[in-house]
Every structure is written in C-alpha cells, then in structure tokens.
A and B are shown apart, each in its own frame.
Chain A
Amino acid sequence: MTDSSETLSGSTWDVEQLLTDALRPIDPPQRLSGRVEDTLAAVTQAAAEELSDWAEELSESELRALRDPRNWVRPVVAVGAGGIATGALVVLELRRRGRGKGESGLRALGGGLRSRL
C-alpha cells in the first residue's frame, strides 16, 4: 500500500509508519473488565428472574380472572353473540333453500311446458 512518500524539510514521511506509531491500541482500564462481566451477569440473572416472575404472574392472573364475576360478562356476551350469529346463519340457509325450491319449481314448470309442446 505504500505507494509514495513525501519529502518535507529534508525528511521523508512514512505516513503508514507514523500511523502505526500514533494509532496504538489502547489498553482498557482494569475496572472495565469487571464492570462488563458484572453487567452481563446482572442482565442474565434479571432475564431469568423476569421469566419466572412472568410465568407465576400469568397463572395467578388467570386464576383471579376466573374468580372475578366482572369477568363473567365477557363470556356471556360472547355466547349471546354466537347464538345470534348462529340464528342468522340458520335463517339465511332456510331462505336459500326456499329460493332453491322456487327455482326448481320454475324449472319443473318449464320442463312440463316443453314436454307438452
């Protein structure tokens, strides 16, 4: 990569060498190692605790919800809505069948006329 060098005041610049000297790796302070390790340990621990707390809370809240009568309204409404929807479907199906019968009657009438002609 060293394709050229510049001359300044009689001295030759070797920029790559200067960069090697100037941009030295910086040693991290000793405390940083411990700090990162502590943070990682804390994060892992917190994640594990959060997971177990979440599992416990979930089952408790489910039980609470089952015991609370205020939450019974929703299932009742859901059952009611389901019943109405089912009723509507039954009505639609009966109408469809009714129309179907009418059509077949017209077809039968048409067939009868054709046979007579």
Chain B
Amino acid sequence: MSATENVEPGDLGPAAKAKLDRDFEGFYRDHLRDVYSYAYYKVGNHHDAEDLTEQAFLQAYRHFDRAQRESDGRPLRPWVIRIAHNLASNYYRDRSRRPQTPLDSTEPLAARHDTVAIAEGREELRQVMANLEHLSDDRREALIMRFALGMDNREIARALGRSDGATKVLIHRAIKQLQEEMGDD
C-alpha cells in the first residue's frame, strides 16, 4: 500500500479499525472546541457552526488514517481547521447561489460579541470586532486562528496553505491595518 493511498475506516480490519476509532476519539475531544470556535467566527451563528463542525469531523474521520500516516508526528490541528475552512467556503458559495435563503451569516462580527462587550463594559471590544470586518478574508481568518484558537505561525501557514514567511507577513499586516483603523475611529 502506498503512503498516499486513502483507506476508508470501513476498509480496515477489526483491530486496525478499533485503534483508528480510539485515536479519532482523542483527536475529536482535543479539537472540538477549536473547530467549533473557528466555524462560529466564520459563519456567525451557532446553528450553522454546529453543522459545519459536524461535517468537518465526518470528513476528517473518513481521511483520518491517511492523515495520521502522512502527518509524520506533526499536529493534525491545521489539517482539521483547513477542512473546516474549505467547508465554510462552500457554505458561502452555496448561500450566494441561493439568495432566497435568509442570510443570517451577514450579522457582523461586532454584533455577535455585543453580549461580551456590554457585560464587560468595553467599547473597545465592540470596536475591534467591527474593524475586523473591514479586513480581507485571509487576514481575518489568520487573526481568528491566532487569537481564538491560539495557533502559531506554522500551524496557521499549514491551515491556510501558505508558506511560513507569507503567513507571518499576513498576520503582521492584519494587525497593522487594525491598529490604523482603530486610530481612524
């Protein structure tokens, strides 16, 4: 069997399948919060975030055996976040194809965090979330991965399919743009 060949869980023998399921259970427990957070910040509501998270883990399960073999000991978090990222992109594409669907995802990030901001009495929080909306998708996603998920540059690079250097520049520019926008407000 070649290293790139994908073996679906159903194709494995009972012992290998049991081990895969155990490993996946741990993987799922470790990353559920990250995937859900990412999905929530991407789509903006709990209902769709749940669907997206479920789909991401289903897809991850299907390719988990191969991902483990190819990861070579590296963390799999960027891989599952990339799955969620691709699913979220499809989610937006599907919605743009179906304009009759209520676009509850257009709710701005700032509005999603009003509760937090009000509870803490911090206008700056609302402001920074509002300015986050002005960033390009890749800049905003990089910041979500960095600050909501605590991913380092290398992980973000792998999740976004970019080089480490390009990711470092991306995050640097995103923060700089935010600082400038905060200054303009």
Chain A interface residues (CB < 8 Å from chain B) = 1-8, 13, 15-16, 18-29, 32-33, 35-36, 39-40, 43-44, 47-48, 51
- The contact sample of 22 A-B pairs, CB cut-off 8 A, is A1-B172, A2-B175, A4-B176, A5-B179, A6-B183, A13-B124, A13-B183, A15-B179, A18-B124, A19-B132, A19-B175, A19-B178, A21-B120, A22-B116, A22-B117, A22-B129, A22-B147, A23-B148, A24-B148, A25-B37, A25-B148, A39-B54
Interface size grouping (class) on chain B = 35 or more
Whether the pair B147, A20 counts as a contact (CB closer than 8 A) is yes
Q: Would you give the shortest CB distance from B9 to chain A, in whole angstroms?
A: 7
Whether the pair A36, B53 counts as a contact (CB closer than 8 A) is yes
Residue of B nearest to A5 (CB): B179
Residue of B nearest to A2 (CB): B175
Residue of B nearest to A27 (CB): B33
Question: Which residues of chain B are near A27, meaning CB under 8 Å?
Answer: 33, 36
Question: Which residues of chain B are near A6, meaning CB under 8 Å?
Answer: 179-180, 182-183
Whether the pair B182, A23 counts as a contact (CB closer than 8 A) is no
Chain B interface residues (CB < 8 Å from chain A) = 8-10, 21, 24, 28, 32-34, 36-37, 40-41, 46, 49-50, 53-54, 57-58, 61, 113, 116-117, 120, 122, 124-125, 128-129, 132, 143-144, 146-150, 171-172, 175-176, 178-180, 182-183, 185
Whether the pair B28, A21 counts as a contact (CB closer than 8 A) is no
Q: Would you give the shortest CB distance from A19 to chain B, in whole angstroms?
A: 4
Give CA–CA (A67, B139) in the complex, Å: 66
Main SS at interface, chain B: helix
Which listed residue, B36, B46, B147, touches A23 by the CB 8 Å rule?
B147
Known: A43-B58, A47-B10. A16 touches B53 (CB 8 A): no
Question: Which residues of chain A are near B149, meaning CB under 8 Å?
Answer: 25
Residue of A nearest to B56 (CB): A36
Give CA–CA (A4, B178) in the complex, Å: 11
Question: Which residues of chain B are near A51, meaning CB under 8 Å?
Answer: 10
Q: How many A-B pairs with Cβ below 8 Å?
A: 109
Give CA–CA (A99, B20) in the complex, Å: 68
Question: Which residues of chain A are near B117, meaning CB under 8 Å?
Answer: 22
Which listed residue, B54, B143, B148, B179, touches A35 by the CB 8 Å rule?
B54
Question: Which residues of chain A are near B113, meaning CB under 8 Å?
Answer: 22
Question: Which residues of chain B are near A33, meaning CB under 8 Å?
Answer: 32
Whether the pair A23, B41 counts as a contact (CB closer than 8 A) is yes
Question: Which residues of chain B are near A4, meaning CB under 8 Å?
Answer: 176, 179
Residue of A nearest to B28 (CB): A36
Q: Would you give the shortest CB distance from A33 to chain B, in whole angstroms?
A: 7
Question: Which residues of chain A are near B57, meaning CB under 8 Å?
Answer: 36, 40
